[in-house]
Structure 1
């Protein structure tokens, strides 16, 4: 450590922290105000720190004692027992180092994290921006950890750059690369948060984000306009889906128009593929299949394999629901596309696609086909993808399909148990999609004669009545 500090070798320093304190790259980044990717670059020697203010921020974030600070070439924090009076060192993103949680604070936050529905609406944009800068997949535990770190003071300091940005960017001459990158990161973060946050908590942040993008697009220089249009389109597709989840059909349609215009302006027609894929979730039967196939028309001939795999899985589900055995071939094609895909590098909306979600699609397809020969193995694979870090919206869908699988093979007790878990997960995230999917097992529940099934059916119908008529 003395060698690392004397040589001002931040990569060596981070490697030692990771090795001996068991701290991940993500948690180091949270503490010192870097993305996980930037921490990785320093650790691999691909980048070096030279600025004094950055060294000071690292020392602050890691909670270095004065002897370590002095070895690094920084002034001590305490002289003759009196704290030094100094202004906070701003991070590149504007967050003072004194307000970033230290490694020790992050450890304490893990023990008592806030739940997603406890996050104030004003914190959503700050959280989205932080999550969007992380290069690695963000599981439920990491998201809760970051949310826990957003105390009122920290959230204010993280949000302040955006407020200053809105005031400062009165003209296109003030738009720069750093600003565009921040907006792109925040769009990615909003898509990631959709897996965990209730729609009501996400909607206000999304609309504020789109308002900022709209203001910046007016008169933006050509070198930035297409990028801003693309990120606006990616945000609008999500806003349309969230508006539908909140039963705001007029707003959903309006956001669809925005995404279509943004797709044309940006030269990224694949944005429309995402729009139609979301539409398919809100439809049933042949209409849903038509929406998926419309989405596939916007795919390029090569590349974007994560979106391709997602659309093939959706097509497999809809074909299976119509009793078409071609569903199995679509699943095979989806797996091939997924093997080539890089979900965390392709599009803002593809971050959700992983082995667990692919397992859920497999289960749903085999259940809809009534293929008992494969239902058991598909059930095991899907359940294996669920743990405490799994997003609750996925959990609601998987548990519904598992419940239907159990009813198909004659285990009604297990079917009722998983259906109850699905309902609890859907309620926890206020997921209209999850509650709608639960409608697929209402008939199976109605055929049961035990009290647990009867009680669950009553609860489910009462929740679904808010969405429209029940199929049971």
Structure 2
């Protein structure tokens, strides 16, 4: 690697005072910031990557505006890596490093920052209970759209929703409103995290779940915290670390099991069963599945945990997904039962279910029976933009091709 990749990025001080730069900072235009670094310091994407701790591939996507930053901690890394002086950090919405004597001695700049902060606080003060309810409804609607259409159809709306809630939460003064905003932020970030898992963007998924966990703590809500941690375990599964995922889920259940509603308790048990199945621990998997079945309450949803939708058909799908890995002969009946009980609004879930059915039929050597499910799974994976299920369809299709020879 070029030794210059580890050199500090030195952008001339006067660049930060330009009107164009100030506007870039106010807009939190990270693409523009990276272009400034390249233009005025000659920094390559590799050098920016080294300075900020962001992968070079992601740097390239950010510059092309194919990816956006929403995490405050990442903004901090960017500000540090590019050497932003304190008045530039404040324009970006970050605290100055030297609070007593911020860099940039221009009184006009300081006055502008004070006015900017006052405006943000005033805007946040306008957020009342009705506004929080609207934001909550928007997140619920995005969740319903995600089930039907997948992340690709609502990606821009998700980014805007997270940014709006995060901005309001950061500047909210009234404790009650701030707590409720943290609740909505945790739900929304967890949804974004699951979408990132579905598109195989695992680093993004981890960051979204970290945001969801932090917001859940701010909201002082055990259910949100347990759910975000439980979903984060799926990132570990997809990273090839099912043992660590199982351990995390066992810890979450031991810590929160009797402090959260029944639907979430069931969800956590089923998630542990899935991680154990990937790990290859059939006994632990079956134990967790039996616990999930025993915990399942009546009714499909609980208004206290709207992010968990779970009934006996969903649990049958989960059971089939787990036990197909062990060649259980009852798997197909579980999956058929789950498919019969689906209401047509869970397109991404149906893609996974069809993959499981195809897998089960292929394991029994019934190639013709597997093909319609593979075909439909492929259609649904394309409709929802699910790279996760799309990859599985390709793997099963290759297995079917080998089996037909």
Tell me the residue number matched to 2:387.
432
Q: Is the 8 A contact 2:190 2:212 kept in 1?
A: yes
CA distance in 2, matches of 1:181, 1:331: 36
Quote the residue 2:273 is aligned against. 316
| Alignment TM-score, normalising by the size of structure 2 | 0.62
- Native 8 Å contact 1:203 1:243 kept in 2: no
Aligned counterpart in structure 1 of residue 331 of structure 2, from 355, 360, 375: 375
| 3-state SS of paired residue (2:296) | helix
User: C-alpha offsets along residues 427-452 of structure 1, whole Å, 9 cap, x if unaligned?
Assistant: 121112322443663563253125xx
Instruction: Give distance in 2, aligned partners of 1:404 and 1:287.
Output: 26
- The count of aligned residue pairs is 281
Deviation digits for residues 237-293 of structure 1 (CA, Å, limit 9, x no counterpart): 112222344454554343233222212211014323333333343424334433433
Distance (whole Å) between structure 2 residues aligned to residue 298 and residue 237 of structure 1:
19
Cα deviation, residue 360, structure 1 = 0.6
For the Cα contact (< 8 Å) 1:288–1:318, is it kept in 2? yes
Structure 2 residue 194 is the aligned partner of structure 1 residue 241: yes
Give distance in 2, aligned partners of 1:303 and 1:279.
18
Say whether residues 1:214 and 2:166 are aligned partners.
yes
Query: For the aligned residues, what is the CA RMSD?
Result: 2.7
Aligned counterparts, 1:257-406, within 5 A: 257-282=210-235, 283=238, 284=240, 285-297=242-254, 299-321=256-278, 322-339=280-297, 343-350=301-308, 352-372=309-329, 374-386=330-342, 389-406=344-361
Distance 1:245 1:253 in 2: 12
Can you give the 5+ residue segments of structure 2 that lack an aligned partner in the other structure? 1-118
In the aligned structure 1, how far is the partner of 2:393 from the partner of 2:248?
21
Q: Which residue of 2 aligns with 1:102?
A: none
8 A Cα contact 1:234 1:259, kept in partner: yes
Note closer, same or farther for the CA distance 1:191–1:299 as it changes in structure 2 (3 Å cut): farther
Q: Give the secondary-structure state (helix, strand or coil) at the position aligned to 2:301.
A: coil
Map residues 127-276 of structure 1 onto 2, 5 A cutoff: 170-217=122-169, 218-276=171-229
Contact 1:210/1:232, CA 8 A, preserved across alignment:
yes
Give, in angstroms, the shift of residue 354 of structure 1.
Answer: 2.8
CA distance in 1, matches of 2:325, 2:302: 29
In 1, the alpha carbon distance for the partners of 2:163 and 2:257 equals 30
1:221 Cα deviation from its structure 2 partner = 0.5
How far apart, in 2, do the equivalents of 1:415 and 1:375 lie? 14
Say whether the 8 Å CA contact 1:275–1:295 is kept in structure 2. no
Aligned to 1:414: 369
Separation of aligned partners in 1, 2:202 and 2:282: 31
SS of 1:349's equivalent in the other structure is: coil
Task: Measure, in 2, the Cα distance between the counterparts of 1:280 and 1:438.
Answer: 23
Secondary structure of 1:334's aligned partner: helix
Unaligned 5+ runs, structure 1: 1-166, 451-472
Q: Hey, what's the Cα distance between the residues in 2 that align with 1:342 and 1:379?
A: 18
Q: Is contact 2:354-2:377 (8 Å) kept?
A: yes
Distance in 1 between residues matched to 2:207 and 2:324, nearest whole Å: 35
Check 1:320–1:244 CA distance in 2 against 1; reply closer, same or farther (3 A cut).
closer
* 3-state SS in 2 of match to 1:195: helix
- The correspondence of residues 4-23 of structure 1 with structure 2, limited to 5 A, is none
Q: Which aligned pairs between 1:61-80 and structure 2 lie closer than 5 A?
A: none
Structure 1 equivalent of residue 20 of structure 2: none
TM-score, length basis structure 1: 0.54
Note closer, same or farther for the CA distance 1:298–1:206 as it changes in structure 2 (3 Å cut): farther
